[in-house]
Structures are given as structure tokens and as C-alpha cells.
């Protein structure tokens, strides 16, 4: 890997070790003295960074199924993101201890929806949610082990290895989507006591994949400063990024149209909380920078071959996805748009720890040439 990438990753590791320690210590203090503010902030940060980790699993499986050249130059970064999965399994523990500060079914005060919560108590209860989370992490770790961490036997030829990975990826994609969708319901959708949407988990999953791809592409572009990537490679990866932008938009608009057409109180409450007052500005921000701007830019072939413009687009996607997760989560706890001091502390603390593990793993990866397996 080029020296510029190693320098950047080493800086992440050094600075992240200091920042992570301080920020997580402050967050732990917040759990004790300001739990009503700290636990929601921690959930927002945790969902974003966990999504960044999980988003690369479908991309790795997709690459094994297609064997496209686009995946080889991104693979070291996908593997680095997957290496943070054990860390995220450890960092989920504070959420288990703070369920009563996060979810109405666990004791968070609500104004309506008590009867609905009683009907859902068989599914939404602390033991069931914790067990499902443990099983989900077991599945994700198992897929990561089968696809990445498990070494191939030295006498096994390349074709049998590829066939095995394709089989695991084909089955794994289906299982991953189903299991992760239930996790999104437990961790994110359940923050609203009466609302549900069958499309929402798919929106969140697509955002996770888009975010993971954007980060890998961004670091790949930084590496290309020393050794430029072929223009066709840039075009292929840009088309993939463009596809996930379109999928996110299609799913989001579909959910809005279906809920608007139904016009049912228990369905529109989610949008009412996220479009009232200043929250509307966040919604307009997402429409502009998650769809309109990247859609227009990525239509042009010249843009998709420009490393500088693509660097800006991928960085923008990472920022937008972080804002989107805030918009998905925070209105369940705040009637008006505001940023608590615990928000950046928890977000940066988790992110710095994530960056340390990610940076160390990427620097251990083989130095893959552009487009070569």
C-alpha cells in the first residue's frame, strides 16, 4: 500500500488512541451522571460506526459472487472494516445496560402507545432483544470468519476456494439481510413505540453499504495519489456508488409514498417527528446531499474518472450518512433540533477506537496492485 495511506493510518492510530481514551472516559461518566442524555447519544454513534462495519460484509460477498476487478483494490479496506467487528460486539454492552433510557418498551416514558407495547411485549423485551443481538453478532462474526479470516488450505486450488466462497456468499447475503433487518428493528425502529415500516430496515442497510463503500473508495483514492488508479476502474466503482445512491433514494421515496397514501396516525408519526420545526432542515439537507447532488454529479463520465471530485463525493457520503443516522434516531428523544454535548463525545469516542483497529488491520493487508487479485 502506498506510503501516503500508511502515514494517514498511523496518524489515525496515534491520535485515535488518545482521543478514544478521553472521550470514552467522559462517556462512561455521562452514563453515571447524565444517563438520559448520554445513552441516546451513545446509540447514535454506535449505530453509525457499527453500520460502517456491517456494510462491508455484503460488499465482500458481492465481490466473491461477481469476481469483478473493482473489488480487488477495495478489498484491503473492506477487510480492515470487518476487523472492527469484535470491537463493536464489545461496545454493544452499554446499550444493554441502558435499555430503559432508550426504548419505550423497556421503561422510557411515553405519552401514547402503551397498549401497542403490551401487544409487542412478547417480541420486544430485554431478554429477547439481548439474545437476538448476541445471535446476530455470532452470525456476522461467523460470516467474517468464513469469508475473510479463515485461511485456505495450502493444497487447495484456487477454483475450489472460489466456489466455496461463492456458495457461502450466495447463502450469506440472504441470511445477512434477514438477520440484520431484525437488528435494525430492535435497535432503531423500536425507538418509536407505535411506528413500523417494512422498508425502513432496507433503507438503513443500504445506507450502511453505501457508507462502507464510500470509506473504502475514499482511502483508495488517497492511495492513488502515489499510483493513479486506471480510469476504467474509477468508472466501475463510481457506477457501483451511484447504484447504491439510487437504491437509497428509491427505497426512501417508496416508504414516503406508501405512508403518505395510507395516512394512518401510527405510520405518519415517524415523519411528523422528523419534519416538524428545525428537523425539516435536516430532511432537506439529506434530500440535497444524499440524492440530488451526487445523482447529478455521477451522471457524467468525466466526473466518475476524476479522483479529486470523487474524493469530495465519497467524503460527502460519509458525512451525510452520519447526519442521516442522527436524523433517524435523535427525534425520538428530542422534540426540537439540538446537539447535546454528549453527541460528539460519544460519536468521536467510538469512532476513534474504531479507527485504531481499522488502521492497524489495513496496514497488515497485502499490498494489492490496482485491479489485480
Q: How far apart are CA 171 and CA 281, in angstroms?
A: 41
Q: Which of 185-189, 219-223, 256-260 has the lowest mean pLDDT?
A: 219-223
Predicted pLDDT at 185: 94
The distance from CA 171 to its chain's CA centroid, rounded to whole angstroms, is 21
Predicted pLDDT at 9: 57
Select the more confidently predicted residue: 150 or 351: 351
Radius of gyration (C-alpha) of the chain in whole angstroms: 21
358 touches 365 (CB < 8 A): no
Q: Residue range 149-156: average pLDDT?
A: 55
DSSP collapsed to 3 states, 33-74: HCHHHHHHHHHHHHHHHHHHHHCHHHHHHHHHHHCCCHHHHH
Predicted pLDDT at 157: 47
Share of the chain above pLDDT 90, in %: 61
Predicted pLDDT at 326: 97
Predicted pLDDT at 12: 61
pLDDT band at 369 (very low <50, low <70, confident <90, very high): very low
- Helices and strands per DSSP (H, E), number in the chain: 17, 0
Average pLDDT value for the chain: 87
138 CB neighbour count, 10 Å cutoff: 12
Q: Which of 71-75, 213-217, 337-341 has the lowest mean pLDDT?
A: 71-75
Predicted pLDDT at 153: 47
Predicted pLDDT at 196: 87
Segments making up each domain of the chain, as ranges: 3-364
91 touches 46 (CB < 8 A): yes
Residue 67 backbone class (left: φ over 0; alpha: ψ -120 to 50; beta: rest): left
The model's pLDDT over 251-289, given as tens digits with 9 standing for 90+, comes to 999 999 998 888 877 788 899 889 988 999 999 999 999
Amino acid at each position: 500500500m502506498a506510503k501516503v495511506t500508511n502515514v494517514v493510518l498511523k496518524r489515525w492510530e496515534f491520535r485515535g488512541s488518545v482521543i478514544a481514551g478521553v472521550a470514552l472516559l467522559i462517556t462512561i461518566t455521562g452514563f453515571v451522571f447524565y444517563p438520559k442524555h448520554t445513552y441516546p447519544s451513545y446509540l447514535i454513534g454506535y449505530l453509525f460506526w457499527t453500520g460502517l462495519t456491517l456494510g462491508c460484509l455484503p460488499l465482500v460477498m458481492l465481490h466473491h459472487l461477481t469476481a469483478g476487478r473493482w473489488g480487488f483494490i477495495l478489498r484491503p479496506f473492506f477487510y480492515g472494516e470487518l476487523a472492527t467487528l469484535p470491537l463493536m460486539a464489545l461496545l454493544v454492552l452499554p446499550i444493554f445496560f441502558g435499555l430503559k433510557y432508550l426504548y419505550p418498551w423497556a421503561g422510557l416514558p411515553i405519552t401514547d402507545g402503551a397498549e401497542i407495547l403490551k401487544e409487542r411485549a412478547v417480541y420486544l423485551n430485554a431478554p429477547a432483544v439481548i439474545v437476538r443481538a448476541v445471535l446476530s453478532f455470532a452470525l456476522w462474526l461467523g460470516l467474517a470468519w468464513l469469508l475473510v479470516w479463515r485461511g485456505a488450505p495450502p493444497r487447495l486450488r484456487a477454483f475450489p476456494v472460489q466456489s466455496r466462497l461463492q456458495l457461502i456468499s450466495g447463502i450469506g447475503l440472504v441470511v445477512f439481510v434477514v438477520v440484520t433487518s431484525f437488528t435494525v428493528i430492535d435497535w432503531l425502529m423500536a425507538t418509536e413505540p407505535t411506528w413500523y415500516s417494512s422498508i425502513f430496515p432496507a433503507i438503513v442497510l443500504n445506507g450502511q453499504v453505501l457508507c462502507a463503500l464510500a470509506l473504502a473508495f475514499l482511502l483508495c483514492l488517497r492511495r492513488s495519489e502515489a499510483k493513479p488508479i486506471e480510469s476504467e476502474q474509477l468508472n466501475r466503482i463510481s457506477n457501483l456508488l451511484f447504484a447504491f445512491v439510487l437504491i437509497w433514494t428509491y427505497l426512501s421515496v417508496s416508504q414516503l409514498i406508501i405512508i403518505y397514501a395510507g395516512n394512518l396516525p401510527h405510520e405518519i408519526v415517524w415523519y411528523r417527528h422528523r419534519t416538524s420545526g428545525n428537523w425539516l432542515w435536516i430532511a432537506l439537507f439529506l434530500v440535497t446531499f444524499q440524492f440530488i447532488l451526487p445523482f447529478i454529479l455521477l451522471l457524467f463520465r468525466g466526473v466518475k474518472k476524476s479522483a479529486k471530485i470523487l474524493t469530495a463525493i465519497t467524503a460527502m457520503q460519509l458525512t451525510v450518512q452520519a447526519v442521516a443516522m442522527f436524523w433517524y434516531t435523535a427525534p425520538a428523544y428530542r422534540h426540537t433540533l439540538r446537539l447535546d454535548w454528549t453527541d460528539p463525545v460519544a460519536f468521536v469516542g467510538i469512532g476513534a477506537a474504531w479507527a485504531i483497529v481499522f488502521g492497524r488491520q489495513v496496514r497488515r493487508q497485502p499490498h494489492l496492485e490496482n485491479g489485480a487479485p
